[in-house]
Structures are given as structure tokens and as C-alpha cells.
Amino acid sequence: MDETNKINLLELYTMKHKVPISEIMTKDVITLSPDESLYKAEKLFAKHNIRHIPIVEKQRLVGMISHTDLLRISFSSLDKTDESIVPVIYEMFSIPEIMTRVPVFVEATTTIKQTAEILARQSFHSLPVLDKGKLVGIVTTTDLINYLLAQY
């Protein structure tokens, strides 16, 4: 391999390690406000086939709710035949009561590698992406896996 090819490979390697998370994040983020219902959250999870929803108040990220959070409080996972109990359970709790407050987030300029390192150390599977304090996206472990697969 000549010297020019070595430099080009090194540049390519360096560039790939500096790709910002904004390149692979979901930009059209489904959000909820703290005063909305858990029933609405459940409907959004199903309609959009998503598992995480940022909670936003006055354009400021205040929390995250996951589909797993809803499963923890509902008995629907125990008795699928009695769907009438789910709305009752959802009325007993509010989004602020079950959401993760002050969630871990990344900036839009955070690299894909840095984001993957954060998710690898944590027990959650998504991160809100902020730019100057404003929610601009969300990235999930699935997004990272799809990015990795595209490299091969």
C-alpha cells in the first residue's frame, strides 16, 4: 500500500469516529407534556411503534417515559383478558409520577461512539438529543445497531 492510500484510510478511520449522533437520530420526535394522560402515552406507543417518549414542558426536556414504565404499573401484562382495568390503572397515576426525571441526554454534536459508550454502561435503551437545551431528536440502541450493520 502506498503512502497516499495509508493517509486516506487514516482520514476515513478518523472521520468515522467523529460522526455526530445527529446523523442517525430520529428527528421527528413524538413527545408528551407532563399533564397528558398515560392512556395517551399508551396510544402513542402503539400507533407509532415506539418504546420511549420524551416529556417536554415549555420546550424543555423534563423527563422520559418508556413502554416498560407503563407495563410496570399496569396489570394488563398479568391478565390480557381484562382490558377494562388498564384505563383505571392509568387514571391512578400521572406521567410525572412514573417518568424518569432529569434523564441522561446527549448533545447533537456528541459522537456516535460516545453515545454508544453511554448506552453500553446504562440500563436504558434511548437517549434524548439536545441542541442548546432544546430537544432535537432521540437515539435508541436500535439506531446504533442499524448504524453498525450499515458499516458492514
Q: Alpha-carbon distance 148 to 28, whole Å? A: 22
Answer yes or no: is 13 within a domain: no
The percent of residues above 70 in pLDDT, for the chain, comes to: 80
pLDDT of residue 152: 78
For 117-126, how does the pLDDT look when each residue is reduced to its tens digit (9 = 90+)? Answer: 999 999 889 9
Percent of the chain with pLDDT over 90: 63
CATH number, residue 129: 3.10.580.10
CB 50 within 8 A of CB 125: no
11 has pLDDT over 50 = yes
Per the domain annotation, does 57 fall within a domain?
A: yes
* Residue 74 within any structural domain of the chain: yes
Among 131, 128, 144, smallest CA distance to 66 is for: 128
Taking only the tens place, the pLDDT of each residue in 68-90 is: 999 888 754 455 555 555 667 78
Q: Which domain holds residue 109?
A: 20-150
> What distance, in Å, lies between the first and last C-alpha atoms of the chain?
22
Report yes or no on 14 lying in a domain. Answer: no
Q: How far is CA 82 from CA 12, 72, 150, in A?
A: 56, 16, 43
The pLDDT tens digits for 89-124 are 788 899 999 999 977 999 999 999 999 999 999 988
Dist CA 54 CA 34 (whole Å):
10
Predicted pLDDT of residue 76: 47
Residue 72 in domain: yes
